Amino acid sequence: MRRVLIIVSLLILVVAVLFFYFRYAWVFGEGAKSGELNFVVHKGWLWKTYEGRLIQTGIKGQAGSMQSNEFNFSVVDPKVAEQLMVNSGKVFNLHYLEYQGALPWRGQSVYVVDSIISMTGTRDPAGLVVP
């Protein structure tokens, strides 16, 4: 009976570790998003994390109206977050990693920006990039 209890306990432990790994540590996907940086803030009660929002414009609304898409993300690297904070309002092309779940010390979002691909000037009201 004791041997069965040990085997069952080890199986439960292995399943729990695999669940945690695939839910919080394994990179589900990665990609790039482009848009105007709305803000980046450093906030949190216990763990201070960098949280930001990228505004992506598009013409994909009802009856041909403009639609604004928001990309909420977290930033782990303080150097990347500082560069984003200093250049708020500019148009960025950001590389991100997507996880299945968010961890409190990694940020509030499942999307974690790890690098800046490119940065240009702001957009004028017509949607054109101004250097």
For 38-88, the pLDDT digits (tens) are: 999 999 889 999 999 999 876 655 665 556 689 999 999 999 999 999 998
Non-local (6+) Cβ contacts of 121 within 8 A are 90, 91, 129, 130, 131
How crowded is the C-beta side of 55, counted as CA atoms within 13 Å? 14
131 in a domain, yes or no?
A: no
Q: Tell me how many domains the chain contains.
A: 1
Residue 92, strand partner residues:
35, 119
Q: Where are the alpha helices (DSSP H) in the chain?
A: 2-20, 78-86
What's this model's pTM, rounded to 2 decimal places? 0.76
CATH number reported for the structural domain that contains residue 44 in this entry: 2.40.50.140
9 in a domain, yes or no?
A: no
Classify burial at 107, counting beta carbons within 10 Å of its beta carbon; exposed 0-12, middle 13-18, buried 19 or more.
buried
